[in-house]
Structure 1
Amino acid sequence: MSHTAPPVPINEMERLLSLSEFDIDYSDHYETFKDLAKLAAKVTGTKISLVNLIDSLTQWTISNYGLDLDQMLREDSVCQYTIMETDHFEIDDLSLDDRFKNKFYVTGDPKVRYYYGIPLKTSTGLNIGALCVLDQEQKSLDPEKIELLKIIADEIVARLKTYKVMEGLKSKLLEAKQTQKKVAHDIRGPLGGIVGLAQIIRDQGDSNQMDEVLEFINLIHKSGNSILDLAEEILESHKEKGPVAPSVNAKENEFNLAVFKDKLEKLYGPQAKHKNVSFNVFTTPLTEKVPFAKNKLLQITGNLISNSMKFTPEGGEVRVDLRLIIDPNWPALQILVKDTGVGMSQEAITAILSGTASSTEGTGGEQGFGFGLALVKHLVDSLEGTMNITSEPGKGTTFEINLPQNM
């Protein structure tokens, strides 16, 4: 199947790293940007507006107005061209452009014709996505409207930055609470011993007539008991409230295997359906409610899943196993992504693990951008984890990720 070569920014790896730093759950921000998406359409007088973020293989519509759209293959999007630009990208009539005239959104509903896109640019000049407006009729946007559109695009990036800061603060708060919990556990043992010893000395003190020593031991006993009560109180509060501060809604912010599974199914189920690939996510029931940090997990696992779907033919299967390994020496989150795809040679595996992999096309003709697995390797390394790949050409590939956990 022939394709026009997809546009890829020269700084694509840096661009993907910048996007991954925001650590965004693509399914969780509709309300965050709903007002800005609507404003963009109203300002420009267009019927449709989309807020899109573009990763290695997928365009994620994190909010929209006038068109209920969640995602599409990057190679099918118009915004893949917008992120190549420094200012904007405009098409008067998509149906007259060879790059877009056969796309589903041009030939079928909503039969869009006009497109205007502004890159979503970070402070370091990297285009992580695009704010675009579309219409069934050709439009002409005057400079004032374009300037307002750019202001809206800047506000979208500003909100993403704010979200990133807030998530960082929540993470630090969680770490502080976990440290507090460990301290409580650690002091209970020795304090219990001190209180027990003081009890024995006090009980024997009457016969020894050690009045002054007895008074001193009594004080130790009282102080020890009060600290022991405090430790017990801290532990009990954690049982009731979980490992986050009372001011933060624990259930809303808690991330565990069950939540992880639900998000992966929601995000990548549509891709599987589009390609007619069976997609299943499994967890270990005994540990699926144990909370852990979600740092970069959706980016790591999502890129592996998209890659597996890319190289798995129609009727094949992609399976994900999520496990928490409760090992006192090295507690870890294990992520297994297994597919029944075309498989990989040992040379290709070595290239990925050494960071020298190149791009290839998928089984459905999907363009390979060659950066998804490189990004995964980088993120896993940054989290001090391990990545292993086993494969047999023609039979499939299994990716195994192990990430240490602070539990």
Structure 2
Amino acid sequence: MPIPPLPENEMDRLLSLSAFDIDFTEQKDCFKDLAKLAAKVAGTEISLVNLIDSFTQWSISGHGLEIEQMPREDSVCQYTIINDEFFEVEDLRNDERFKDKFYVTEEPKLRYYYGIPLKTKDNHHIGALCVLDKNVRELSPEKVELLKIIANEIVSRLNDLKVIDNLKTKLLEVRETQKKVAHDIRGPLSGIIGLAQLIAEQGEGNQIDEVLEFMQLINKSGRSILDLADEILSADKKEHTAAATNNEFTLLVFKDKLERLFIPQARNKGVRLTVSTSAASEQIPLSKNKLLQISGNLISNAIKFTPPGGHVAVELNLEVGEAYNTLQIKVKDTGTGIDEKGISEILKGDAKSTEGTAKEAGFGFGLALVKHLIDTLNGSMNIYSKPNEGSIFEVRLPQIQ
């Protein structure tokens, strides 16, 4: 079996991909027009926009073929990301690397492939735009140049989406600050108004007209600012309620995304995957920053090392604290387990590549990426495991606003 290719800068490539913090379940409509355009330009039946992480090729959009993911080691695009300009296979049936793959021997029985790497501004290949067909094709130089333009537009659009997400995050932070400021000024203003009222009442008894008039002005100004604080709080509450209706990320939303993304992987190997949440905290909003990258790599890793008939269980819980909440992610499996040396290497970020229980290719970067992302979020990870007794990966991430 051919050894899967690996870019020399694989860890940097994965970090570049994780920086986009992509939700693979929500990108289809964003790139559908570009995928269709690529197929039309090339004159092929199929085109796909693929992103490649540690374990999986994610087809975030496409034209002519309904597919969401496949194991990285089965993909053709894994070869595209190690090439600088393009990767072409004139007939997949005649290539030792691909002739036995399911998409060649079964429907859609593909023959032709042409892929262009999706390059970030720092020249990391995070995926590929590819066009495919059931018949042998030949692309003219003009068509190739147009496909390169489309590939650049895909990366540009990914960058735009990243900027929009960052702006949304900053807007939420501003609203949170706005709310805190409004709360902070209410107390002092209420005290000023109360004092002014008291002086005004004493002044009336002494009939000090100037003092009365001055105190009335203080009272009026104070009430105006207090009304403004109430208005800020009211507006923030309405906006927060609207955001909660449409965009809030909760444990229930998290659970739904993990099931959609990774149950197909588990099913394909004959492994049962379950995701559960804590009922007491499943509706509380939380930050989704890097959560799919962290949990996704842990789940894919668990599936990889769990034999057919085994079980991978994901438990999501949000511990509510006085200062901040803490998200807890547990990924349990009935797999091959890890010895003390292996656990130590993972926690140091030095995990080595190993083969899965079904001879899946190992790249050795998934858990290193997880450790790096957890550290950047000021979180922690513990591993409980023994050889042949399964493993438990426990991640704790502070949800500091």
TM over 0.5: yes
Structure 2 contact 28–60 (Cα < 8 Å) conserved: yes
Distance in 2, Cα, partners of 1:66 & 1:128: 23
CA distance in 2 between partners of 1:174 and 1:63 (Å): 29
Name the counterpart of 1:223: 221
Deviation at 1:69, TM superposition (A): 0.4
| Aligned-residue identity in percent | 62
Give the one of 112, 115, 121 matched to 1:114.
112
- The answer on 1:251 being equivalent to 2:245 is yes
One-letter code aligned to 1:184: A
Task: State the partner residue of 2:44.
Answer: 46
Counterpart among 108, 129, 132 of residue 130 in structure 2: 132
SS in 1 for 2:142: helix
Match of 1:288 in 2: 282
Q: Which residue of 2 aligns with 1:71?
A: 69
Asked whether the 8 Å contact 1:383–1:403 carries over to 2, the reply is yes
* Corresponding residue of 2:237: 239
Shift of 1:225: 2.0
- Whole-angstrom CA distance in 2 between matches of 1:373 and 1:381: 12
Match of 2:352 among 351, 358, 370: 358
Match of 1:334 in 2: 328
Q: CA deviation at 1:210?
A: 4.3
Whole-angstrom distance in 1 between the partners of 2:307 and 2:255: 23
Equivalence for 1:20 = 18
Q: 1:124 to 1:190 in 2, by over 3 A?
A: same
Deviation per CA, 1:54-89: give whole Å up to 9, x if none: 000000000011110000000010100110100111
- CA RMSD across the alignment: 1.7
Query: Is 171-180 or 184-193 further displaced after alignment?
Result: 184-193
Judge conservation of contact 2:47–2:129 (CA < 8 Å) in 1: yes
The structure 2 residue matched to 1:396, chosen from 390, 396, 401, is 390
Q: Partners of 2:369 and 2:39 in 1: how far apart?
A: 34
Q: Report Cα offsets for 1:84-116 as digits up to 9, x if no partner.
A: 100111111111111111111011000001111
**Secondary structure of the corresponding residue to residue 60 of structure 1:** strand
Sort the Cα spacing of 1:50 and 1:218 in 2 relative to 1 into closer, same or farther, 3 A: same
Shift of 1:209: 4.0
Q: Take 1:241 and 1:289, find their aligned partners in 2: how far apart are those partners?
A: 18
Q: Which moved more, 1:184-193 or 1:4-13?
A: 184-193
Letter in 1 for 2:286: F
Distance 1:118 1:41 in 2: 13
Q: Which residue pairs with 1:268 in the alignment?
A: 262
Q: Distance in 2 between matches of 1:60 and 1:220?
A: 63
Per-residue CA deviations over 1:3-47 (Å, capped at 9, x if unaligned) read 422111010000000000111111111111111111111111111
Which of 169, 182, 199 in structure 1 is aligned with 2:180? 182
- Alignment-mate amino acid for residue 160 of structure 2: T
Given candidates 299, 319, 326, the residue that maps to 2:293 is 299
Provide the TM-score with structure 2 as the length reference: 0.95
Shift of 1:320: 1.7
CA distance in 1, matches of 2:41, 2:386: 54
Question: Under a length normalisation based on structure 1, what TM-score does the superposition of the two structures give?
Answer: 0.94
1:387 corresponding residue in structure 2: 381
SS of 1:46's equivalent in the other structure is coil
Aligned residue number for residue 84 of structure 2: 86
State the 1:50 CA deviation.
Answer: 0.7
Decide which moves more: 385-394 or 231-240.
231-240
Q: State the 1:237 CA deviation.
A: 2.3
Q: 1:93 and 1:168, CA in 2 relative to 1: closer, same or farther beyond 3 A?
A: same
Does structure 2 conserve the Cα–Cα contact (< 8 Å) formed by 1:60 and 1:70? yes
Structure 1, gaps ≥5 residues long: none
Extract unaligned runs of 5+ from structure 2. Answer: none
Question: Shift in Å at residue 250 of structure 1?
Answer: 5.4
Distance 1:402 1:211, change over 3 A: farther
Query: Is contact 2:324–2:400 with CA below 8 Å preserved after alignment?
Result: no
Q: 1: distance between equivalents of 2:211 and 2:400? A: 44
**Distance in 2 (alpha carbons) for counterparts of 1:92 and 1:312:** 37
Deviates more, 1:176-185 or 1:65-74: 176-185
Determine if contact 1:171/1:293 at 8 Å carries over to the other structure: no
Partner amino acid for 2:305? F
User: 1:132, 1:145 → 2: CA distance?
Assistant: 13
How many Å separate the matches in 1 of 2:92 and 2:6? Answer: 20
What residue in structure 1 maps to residue 141 of structure 2? 143
How far residue 243 of structure 1 moved from its aligned partner, in angstroms, is 7.0
Distance in 1 of aligned mates of 2:40 and 2:67: 19
Change beyond 3 A, Cα 1:16–1:240? same
Partner of 1:101: 99
Q: State whether residues 317 and 339 of structure 1, in contact with CA within 8 Å, keep that contact through their aligned partners in structure 2.
A: yes
Matched, 1:343 2:337: yes
Is the CA contact 1:174–1:243 (under 8 Å) kept in the aligned structure 2?
no
SS of match in other structure, 1:287: coil
Which secondary structure does the structure 1 equivalent of 2:67 belong to?
coil
Report the Cα distance in structure 1 between the residues aligned to 2:185 and 2:391, rounded to whole angstroms.
48
Deviation string, structure 1 residues 285-320 (Cα, Å, up to 9, x no partner): 333222232211111111111111111111222222
- The structural deviation recorded for 1:192 is 2.4
